[in-house]
Structure 1
């Protein structure tokens, strides 16, 4: 008997205590879900909530079960409690609520919750599903979703806007936006690459190099950055750094269309025309690109530089068919004739527009303003900004006038910067100030003139005169209004300068001006003479509605003080004899 008791004692039943906590009920709930036992799962999730009432995940699980069971209102009540009381950072709850509202056909409420999810959720866990829901709501509400931005794609929309600005040549605006994107998201390499390009287009070479270096520190094999760096090395004449980089790019065979195009254009700019041709012909095999005249132009330039002149001709002819309004294919076909005779080298520019000098020739022949499509052309605009920073004096003078014809905010910013450059020519700065005034910049301007920073108020001209009389201004305006369509901006500025010089020399004994038209006509007459334009007293007297005698008298008085004829003799000795009127 004792042995039986000892045996029984040695085989005591082992009781494992059950730990009743939230984890226990959570696991039970998940098992029930796997068996589609929603009632049991809901019961277990409720018990989990009882054990951990401050844990938002348990509440969210319970909301999910209610939604699966069709109790959308009950589910949303719980979800609302989570984001309002327990954990506002659980932004996915707004997406769940949007789903519930959509199932209840409450589309306005669904939109409100969906927009809140997209604008607050940084992770983007349900981004694809949310975009699908946006399409549904667009259909149901018969209007686009009221969405300002998507936080999970913060910087992407802004980056697209910046790219559009670059394509439109709005480089200053693009730089501001891209700098803010990079500041917020340093790993956004596409934004950094485009920022480097924007700096480069504006002629800010050092900043462009620094920015591209930052991209390659983050990702050493970034193809866009490597291509940009190669172009920058070529610009700076750094052959030692350029050579190994070109070797690397020669061995690169990208897959994505965008990368192929970037590499092809880069190799063309670097003078590697065979490599450029190889990649451009790859792109022409893509049926989606066969209607792009630019691609045919690029391929033609590469073929021409390889000596494949017949193929280049066919390519430019095709570009002309695809873009009959453009004068680019025709210009290069004319150049091709010269190449064949050996009188002209092959074109090296891959840009799909006329060379900078040709553009100016066309504008000088035409009385019309720069066409709108050229005003927006980023390559034309970048040529202007480059020339304004790096061109010779005559080119800068032409560019300032051309920018006056474009006359948008970008131009105004560029000219404001230009007049503050300490090493630029004062005459060019005064032309730039005149252009700014003529395109509607009326506020005070800061400029460095004669080595000193000067504030130029709109109410007075940039002169040493202590006052500026309204009648003096009336003479100036009477002349400029009539000269507007007949004289370029430089000539108009020279009239302004002549008038200020006259007033400065006679001040304070300025003659009584009487009728302003006589003085205005005299200024135009003398300005035309300074620029070797044919003009007579009779012609200007008719245009200004005054007498020949009055114009002659005023012109002689200005000449006595300013010595116009003497200056012209020094500049144009062959014109010493005055033409009779």
Structure 2
């Protein structure tokens, strides 16, 4: 066979064009759906509908995918379009709508469409499933002693209250939510929103009391736990924030709503690693969130090094709210940030807990990069201890100036410096040791301990820390390392252990 010229090959290729039809994308969407790649399935089906917008099968399959993604309202809009405008004989849409309304908690509507399906298609494919759904709806109604009409009215009131919250009409929201909680004393969602309303008006004690009431009667209520974490964070109750964050880290919710709540909450308190984990997971599953969702996704992505994801998410924020332009995470206008990251210690200066920020200042003192304490001095969210410690570090760079602050600031620094000197040259990763000391330092200052014996405090901190880390050590070894007596070490170890509640 002779060789073919480029022109011949090109002409042959042009004779066999590849036409991508709606059916082509529909089949790709089905394939992705069977693999549970819901995001890809949605994209393929949307493309199929662009090519053939009146195909009821394409619309119905996209609606099913949207249900699996938790977008129940969008799914119902598609089903309603099929029934009202394209093919009223596709009775299965009634069954799917009944299911969606049940997920939304609108039981009267669910009952309506389930009954409608049985009437129009008594021998249909989903008759048995519909009857099971109706049984569940009747049980739900009997358990709560609320008929469907009242149940739907309750949910609509809750939505109205939420809208009032979002638009800043706090007093009206409080009045409506108080009315709901009085009528339905176990409708926990209303209590959570009522707590938020009181928090926004500055009534923090009332807000916290409401959440405690919810958690006492409904332990494990995720919205209440997340709201409590936010309240503690803004009150700078760092130890409680840390404890509750650890609990929430271990939760793996199934519902999309709960995953979103966790992700947004972690973003708000600055735990961008955890926020990104949940928000990115939802995005990969095809969740099409609102402006708030993309706002926290952008921030969490940026501060975990996922720059392109952050940039794409921020585009969605600007589309929904152009006023946000200029508040990008890379603009330096980061919520509660102290400094722009430019040195290794800066990530600690931007930490969420006092021990992290104190450690960042200590690291700065060991670098060749002077740290300005202006941000700390002017930021009212941070404690006097942090501001004074920052002042001390600043003076350490400016040899001509004299630090005139309280002696416990210099002593606290000397303890950390002693830990640094006595562990210099080792290959151990001692970051947690320094963080442990600064956590203890904050507690010791709250209880007004003297820190004048800096070697003893350093030795006791290291001994207790290594013990907790299950590292082999002895009091004899530590006392010789810091050149103090074993009796002195034992005295200070008792104090440190009491603070750890060991």
- Which TM-score band applies after superposition, normalised by the shorter structure? 0.3 to 0.5
* TM-score, normalisation: structure 2: 0.40
Structure showing greater Rg: 1
TM-score by length of 1: 0.35
